[in-house]
């Protein structure tokens, strides 16, 4: 049987569209609802309690549309709110991006060291360190908060001097640690938008790890295991808590395809 209910995805802004892009590539017949909390961006500088409250509100808004799965396409929310969401909505499959990202990092550099760039909240919480070392204890992991990357991505400033200066500020100190990291985790779903400039500064010998692909694989497996796959869909609809026109214009950078402004609806959480 085909389950045509949509998959619900939320993020603090537009970065989670990189996860939705990977999901659509792997699951082209699924229907998707995406919620970007653009009015309260960024999540990474806020307390864990605040992010958890926002995450529950976003989840409830999506659940009201009868979603069959919830994807937390935000590393900060995944790091501090995933357990709360799993408990609050126990009958709904909930997938975060931290664990798939950690699995991809260990696969890319099984002997380490692994470097992680993320928001302040994700770095302070140590979610990636715990997830990576749960898979391989004592594997060396170094972290760096990169808060400027989020507003740069949201503004579409992903190339040029400003993006490069920010990348040099955050990446060069990581690459100077010894032994030199062999993999670099893009620990925020906004960061793949700056992938080219990050790769240029990190150097060709460093593997960039984007959790979007492994998260999409995890979602696909759960849908298959629970008989929730759809074979007759492909629709997208978007919610934004502020600036829907801007969401449609800039969101194309993350989604990799045009977003019809008429498909972006303002929602109040």
- Catalytic amino acids? 74, 188
| Region for 229 from its dihedrals, namely left if φ exceeds 0, alpha if ψ lies in -120 to 50, beta otherwise | beta
SS3 241: coil
3-state helix, strand, coil in the chain (%, to 5): 50, 15, 35
The residues that bridge with 187 in the sheet, in sequence order, are 118
φ/ψ (deg, to 5) at 128: -70, -40
Q: Which residue, 117, 37, 44, 52, is CA-closest to 76?
A: 44
Largest alpha-carbon pair distance within the chain? Answer: 54
Q: Which residue, 99, 179, 173, 171, is CA-closest to 139?
A: 179
Taking the C-alpha atoms of residue 36 and residue 16, their distance in angstroms, rounded to an integer, is 8
Q: Which residue, 100, 115, 57, 105, is CA-closest to 81?
A: 57
């Amino acid at each position: 049987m085909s389950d045509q209910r949509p998959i619900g995805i939320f993020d603090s802004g537009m970065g989670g569209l990189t996860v939705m892009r990977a999901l659509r590539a792997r699951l082209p017949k699924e229907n998707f609802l995406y919620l970007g909390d653009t009015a309260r961006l960024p999540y990474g500088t806020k307390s864990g309690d605040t992010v958890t409250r926002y995450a529950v509100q976003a989840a409830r808004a999506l659940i009201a549309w009868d979603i069959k799965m919830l994807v937390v396409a935000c590393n900060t929310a995944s790091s501090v709110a995933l357990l709360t969401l799993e408990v609050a909505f126990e009958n709904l499959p909930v997938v975060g991006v931290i664990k798939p990202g950690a699995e991809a990092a260990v696969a890319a550099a099984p002997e380490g060291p692994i470097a992680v760039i993320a928001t302040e909240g994700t770095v302070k919480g140590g979610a990636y360190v715990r997830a990576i070392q749960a898979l391989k204890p004592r594997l060396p992991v170094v972290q760096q908060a990169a808060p400027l990357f989020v507003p740069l991505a949201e503004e579409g400033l992903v190339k040029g001097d400003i993006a490069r200066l920010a990348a040099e500020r955050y990446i060069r100190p990581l690459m100077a640690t010894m032994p030199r990291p062999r993999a670099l985790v893009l620990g925020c779903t906004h960061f793949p938008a700056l992938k080219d400039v990050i790769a240029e500064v990190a150097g060709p010998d460093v593997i960039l790890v984007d959790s979007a692909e492994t998260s999409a694989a995890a979602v696909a497996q759960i849908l298959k295991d629970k008989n929730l796959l759809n074979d007759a869909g492909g629709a997208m609809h978007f919610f934004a808590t502020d600036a829907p026109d801007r969401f449609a214009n800039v969101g194309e950078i993350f989604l990799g395809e045009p977003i019809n402004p008429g498909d972006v609806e303002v929602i109040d959480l």
